[in-house]
Amino acid sequence: MILLRKIKLKFCLLLLTVFLIFPVYAQALQSHTAPEGIYVHQLAHIFFIASLCYLFWDIRRSAFPEKGWRYLQLFCIFMLLWNVVAFTGHWVGDFIQPNDIIKESGHLSTRMIAPFTPTKLLYYFTKLDHIFSVPAIFCLYLCLHSLYLTAYKGEEENK
């Protein structure tokens, strides 16, 4: 049993090492080539927005007093904003021509070609969606940390 666990651990570490050294093989990006791919992706954004709204409403309705629940509400707001921006970016991306964007040597050196129309500017600003996703993940971390500390203090008092 212990030998099997060691083999599993070594295999997982090997896979992690391979994916870190050769990230191309991780297949972390999915392109939506056929129209049904983007439709499903956009529907996923809509369902995620609906679930975040329900979670936010349920937390407000329950009136949890701990600070961690307020952080979870902030997470919901930031992720809701991220979903709206990402949904808009995918939608506006259909109106951008492939020759409007030049990728010289990968995604980090991507440039947009002038003249800058309102559609191109909206597309550009929707690609800055990390402005909402990074604070959302930080709020989720603060939520989990706060709830953990509250539970830990409750266990200490019960001893």
Query: What pLDDT score was predicted for residue 6?
Result: 83
Mean predicted lDDT score pLDDT of the chain: 86
3-state secondary structure of 149: helix
Distances (CA, A) of 88 to 61, 83, 85, 129: 30, 8, 5, 10
Residues 6+ apart with CB under 8 A from 126: 85, 86, 88, 89, 92
Distances (CA, A) of 66 to 33, 60, 140, 146, 156: 45, 12, 14, 8, 17
Q: Is the pLDDT of residue 63 over 80?
A: no
Query: What pLDDT score was predicted for residue 41?
Result: 86
Distance in angstroms (rounded) separating the CA atoms of residues 72 and 144: 8
Distance in angstroms (rounded) separating the CA atoms of residues 87 and 19: 29
Cα 52 from chain centroid (whole Å)? 13
Distance in angstroms (rounded) separating the CA atoms of residues 114 and 95: 15
Per the document, the length of the chain is: 159
How sure is the predictor about 1, in pLDDT bands with cuts at 50, 70 and 90? low
Model pLDDT for residues 106-151, shown as the tens digit of each residue:
767 778 888 889 999 999 899 999 999 999 999 999 999 999 998 8
Domain ranges of the chain: 32-158
pTM of the model: 0.74
Question: Span 55-68, mean pLDDT?
Answer: 87
Distance in angstroms (rounded) separating the CA atoms of residues 63 and 69: 9
Model pLDDT for residues 26-55, shown as the tens digit of each residue:
555 556 566 777 888 899 999 999 999 999
3-state secondary structure of 102: strand
Say if residues 134 and 81 touch (Cβ distance below 8 Å).
no
- Is pLDDT larger for residue 16 or for residue 84? 84
Say if residues 113 and 101 touch (Cβ distance below 8 Å).
yes
Question: Span 73-95, mean pLDDT?
Answer: 94
